[in-house]
Structure 1
């Protein structure tokens, strides 16, 4: 499968609109972007493609990276930067299967699937398919498993995508703290490629109103606040999952300029053949 990182940024992206920080200036100077999060997976055997999260930057991302329009999509949670791109399917697609978790969120009283179905009821092309976390399902010739992660106050999911014929595996943490449940970690383990969210470096944790959490043996926080991993947390998780290759995503422009584009921090447009 061919994996394209359409969007590797957080909710504001990098460069951030109206921002003149050194990191945003450097991104502009180098022509680098981190638009809102989205991943494109093409199954070259079947000619089908799967979209993981629908970024508000959908139109721009698809034009820029020249990838196929999706046959199916997965929505990990209902924050706008992962969901609102679905409106772009209007007049572009005759049909789009959208998969999302069926667990009721105590915060909203609805599952992610129910929220997507309600919010995009006007799109005839969209058919929402509720799926139970930790139970695999097939789409685009690939096996997908949604896994619960920790992104309070809303429910959120990571996922594993596997090619049943080649054994290639992509794991995505979703938006989460370091405290991913063990059964979810077991599903995510041993990927050829891990996309792990890492919103800021750990040394910025003291900038958060409640600081950092889940300190490692070295005392370095692996969670920023309550619902995102630090760079160090994401890398620790990658080691624990025995990822063959790791790219850090969902990155904020708060990374200092001297760190913002260093390995293994991803930028938009990266492609990987698994």
Structure 2
């Protein structure tokens, strides 16, 4: 399967609109972006593809990168930066099946699938399919499994994608703190490629109103507040899961400029082929993120 990182940024992206911080300035100078999160997965055997989350930057992402429009989509949770691109289905698709969890969220009184169905009831081209978390489904010839993670106050899911023909495995942490349930960690384990939420470096937790949480043995916070992993938390999880290749995504422009373009922070346009022989990087993209004002997640 061919995996393209269409959007690797957080809710404001990098460069952030109206921001002249060192990181946003450097990102403009380098000509790199981290738009709102989205991942395109192409099953090259069947010539089908699935889109993981629908970024508000959907239009620009598909104009920018050479990938086909998806045959299906998966929504991990209902925050706007992962969902609101679905409006682009209007006049772009003849039909688009969208898969989302059927578990009722106490915070909203409805499941992710129900929220998507209600919010986009005007899109007759979209058919929402309820998915039971932890139960594999087949989409575009690939095996997909939604796994619960921790992104309070909403229910949120990571994702495991396996090619049943080659055994290649992609794991996405989803938007989550480091406090991922043990069963979900087991399902995410041993990926060829791991895409891990790493919103900021741990040193910036002091600027969050809630500070950091899930501290390691050295006292380093592995979660930023309660909703996202720090860079250090994401790398610790990647090591625990024994990931072959790790890319840090959903990163904010708060990373200091001297750290924002370092490995393994991802940027838009990175592309990987996963097959029986492992992971091959196909693109020549670089990396991004920033620092400024009061911080929340």
TM-score by length of 1: 1.00
Cα deviation 1:90-135 (Å, max 9, x = unaligned): 1111111100000000000000000000011111110000100010
C-alpha separation in 2, matches of 1:29 and 1:200: 21
Cα deviation 1:23-50 (Å, max 9, x = unaligned): 0000000001000000000000000000
Cα deviation 1:146-175 (Å, max 9, x = unaligned): 000000010000010000000000000000
C-alpha separation in 1, matches of 2:169 and 2:266: 18
CA drift at 1:252: 0.1
The equivalent of 1:11 in structure 2 is 11
Q: Secondary structure at the match of 1:26?
A: helix
Q: Secondary structure at the match of 2:24?
A: helix
CA drift at 1:217: 1.1
C-alpha separation in 1, matches of 2:68 and 2:218: 44
C-alpha separation in 2, matches of 1:94 and 1:166: 31
C-alpha separation in 1, matches of 2:70 and 2:129: 15
C-alpha separation in 1, matches of 2:186 and 2:131: 19
- Within a 5 Å distance, the mapping from 1:129-140 to structure 2 comes to 129-140=129-140
C-alpha separation in 1, matches of 2:129 and 2:176: 23
C-alpha separation in 1, matches of 2:255 and 2:108: 32
C-alpha separation in 1, matches of 2:43 and 2:159: 17
- Within a 5 Å distance, the mapping from 1:167-206 to structure 2 comes to 167-206=167-206
The equivalent of 2:294 in structure 1 is none
Q: Give the 4+ runs in structure 1 shifted more than 6 A.
A: none
Q: Secondary structure at the match of 2:61?
A: helix
C-alpha separation in 2, matches of 1:95 and 1:140: 14
Which runs of no fewer than 5 residues in structure 1 stay unpaired? none
- Within a 5 Å distance, the mapping from 1:6-85 to structure 2 comes to 6-85=6-85
Which runs of no fewer than 5 residues in structure 2 stay unpaired? 275-297
**Matched residues, number:** 274
Q: Secondary structure at the match of 1:55?
A: coil
C-alpha separation in 1, matches of 2:39 and 2:49: 10
C-alpha separation in 1, matches of 2:151 and 2:99: 19
C-alpha separation in 2, matches of 1:187 and 1:123: 33
The equivalent of 1:217 in structure 2 is 217
C-alpha separation in 2, matches of 1:44 and 1:76: 23
